[in-house]
Amino acid sequence: MKLIELHRSRAVAAVGYETDTATLRVLFRHGGLYDYFDVAREIYDGLLDDPHPWTRYGREIKEQHEWRLVE
């Protein structure tokens, strides 16, 4: 999965999205690469477009989607 860097975010270094599985991958600046499952494409697009992506979408993603630590 290709990750796109988010230079403006303090929390998130990069994000990626797999359309076939609706999996969002998030690389955090403090460390940790996580997959979040059954995430709508609109949330991924919002992360790419929002000036403060994790502030706006992070709570929703963490509370509504199962996740796993990738590394």
Tens of pLDDT along 25-70? 999 999 999 999 999 999 999 999 998 999 999 999 999 999 999 9
Evaluated on CA atoms 70, 51, 49, 56, the torsion sign reads positive
| Residues 59/52, Cβ–Cβ less than 8 Å | no
For residue 71, is pLDDT > 90? no
| Residues 9/54, Cβ–Cβ less than 8 Å | yes
